[in-house]
Amino acid sequence: MSSLNKKFPRLLPEPIRQGMKVADLIDTTFKAYNGGRLAEACRLFTGKMIAGNGVVGMSLTGALTPAGLGRSAIVPLLKAGFVDWIISTGANLYHDLHYGLGMHLYAGSPFLNDVDLRRDGIIRIYDVLFDYDVLLDTDAFVRQVIQGAEFQRTMGSDEFHWLLGKYVAARERKLGLKETSVLSAAYRYGVPVFTSSPGDSSIGMNVAAMALRDSKLLIDVNRDVNQTAAIVYAAKSGGATSSVFILGGGSPKNFMLQTEPQIQEVMGIEERGHDYFLQCTDARPDTGGLSGATPGEAVSWGKIDPENLPDCVVCYADSTITLPLITAYALSKAAPRKCKRLYDRRDAQYAALREQYLKHGQVAKIEHRTDLDKKPKRGRSGRSVTGTKR
C-alpha cells in the first residue's frame, strides 16, 4: 500500500448539492491547484490570522472599490473586527468616495468603443462605467473638505484619511446611506488607513492643486513609515501575532512588508518578522517584481518569520474572485472580534517605537558604518564591493 495515505488526505470531494453554503463548498470541493490554495487561504485567515488578539493588516491594489468590493467585502471585514489596519492605493480610496457620496457606478462591458465613451462623457474601468461628472463632483468634495482649518497642517496619511472619512460618514448619514464606504467605516471602527504613495491618485492631485491656493496640507510620509512600523512593533512586543492579507501586490504590499526591515535593519531592534502571510495575486514570481515575490523570498529580507513559512499561502487568482469568498467564509466560520481601534492608539504606539529606537536601536546600529572614503574592492565578477567597518 502507498505511503501517501499516511502523509496526505485522500482526494475525494463531495458532490456539489443544491443549497450548499459557501464555506461548505470551499471545504469540500476546493481541493487542488489554486482552488486548493484558496481553501488554504480561507482556513489560514479564519483560523490563525484572526485568532485571539492577532493584528491583521490588509493591503489593497487593483481596482477593487470601483467594482463594489469596498461595500460588499472590505466594510464587513472591518465591522467584524477581522482587519485592523489598511494600506491602499490612493485610487481605491478615491473611487471608494463615489459610494460614500451616493454616486452611481454601472456594470457595463469591456468591449465598448472608448472614443464614443469619451465623446459622451463616460469613464470606463474595464467593465465598470460611470459619468465624468462623478469625477468632477468627487474632486469638488475633496477640495471643499480639505479647505477646513483642521487640514491646514502636516499629518500622516492615516490621520488625513480618518478626517476625510469623518466627512464621508456625515454625508452618508445625510443621504440615508449605510455601510457604503471603506473610509467612513474605517473612521467609525478606528481602523488606520494609509496610502504608500499619497500623490499617486486623484485625492493627491486635488491636495496638490490646493497647494497652489496656499493650502498648508502636507502628507508626512516619514510619519507613515514609522507609524506602520509602530503598529507591527506594538503587536509583536505585546505578545500578539502580526498577519498580512495582501490583495494584489505593488507599492502597498511592499509598504506593509517593509515594516519589519524598518524595525530590524534600520532601527536595529530585534524582531523575527510577520507571523502569517496571505496573498491573492496574478503576478508571477519569475520576473523579479515585488508583486509576485513569494513569502520564501520575504523570509530572506526578515519580513516573514521563517518558523511560520509553512503557514504562508499564495493564491494565484483574481482578487475580485477570492476576496468575496474569503470574506463569506470568515463571516460564517468565525465570531466577530472586538475592534482594536488602532487609530486611537496611534500616538502611544508611535512614542513607544521611538523610545525603543532611541534607547536600543541606535546604539546597536552605530557600529555598521560604510567607509565612503575607502577605495572599493573588486569582487571576482569585476563588480565593486564597498568595504564595511564592523
Domains and CATH numbers, the chain: 45-366 (3.40.910.10)
- pLDDT tens digits for 336-388? 999 999 999 999 999 999 999 999 876 655 556 556 566 555 544 444 434 43
The 8-class DSSP code of residue 334 comes to S
Q: Which amino acid is at 121?
A: G
242 pLDDT higher than 90 = yes
pLDDT of residue 385: 39
3-class DSSP state for residue 88?
strand
Does residue 302 register a pLDDT over 70?
yes
Alpha helices (H) along the chain: 4-7, 22-29, 33-44, 69, 75-79, 90-100, 114-119, 132-146, 157-175, 182-189, 202-211, 221-237, 250-257, 259-261, 295-300, 319-333, 346-356, 362-365
Residues 128, 129, 135, 137, CA torsion sign: negative
pLDDT digits (tens, 9 = 90+) for 108-122: 999 999 999 999 999
pLDDT band at residue 216 using 50, 70 and 90 as cut-offs: very high
pLDDT band of 147, cuts 50, 70, 90: very high
pLDDT of residue 367: 58
Considering only residues 384 and 72, tell me which one the structure prediction assigns the higher pLDDT. 72
Which pLDDT belongs to residue 368? 60
CA distance 210 to 216: 9
User: What number is the average pLDDT over the span 190-194?
Assistant: 99
pLDDT number for residue 19: 94
Average pLDDT over residues 213-241: 98
pLDDT (tens digit, 9 = 90+) per residue, 268-301? Answer: 999 999 999 999 999 888 888 888 888 888 888 8
| Sole residue written with cell 573588486 | 378
Least confident range from 98-102, 145-149, 272-276, 378-382: namely 378-382
Q: What is the mean pLDDT of residues 29-46?
A: 96
Dihedral sign, Cα of residue 159, residue 350, residue 79, residue 94: positive
Percent of the chain whose predicted confidence (pLDDT) is above 90: 81
Residues contacting residue 271 through CB under 8 Å, at least 6 positions apart: 233, 236, 260, 263, 264, 302
> What is the secondary structure of 154-165 as a DSSP string?
EE-HHHHHHHHH
pLDDT of 210 > 60? The answer is yes
Q: What mean pLDDT value characterizes the chain?
A: 92
- Cell numbers for 207: 491636495
Pick the more confident residue, 78 or 375: 78
Catalytic residue positions?
A: 303
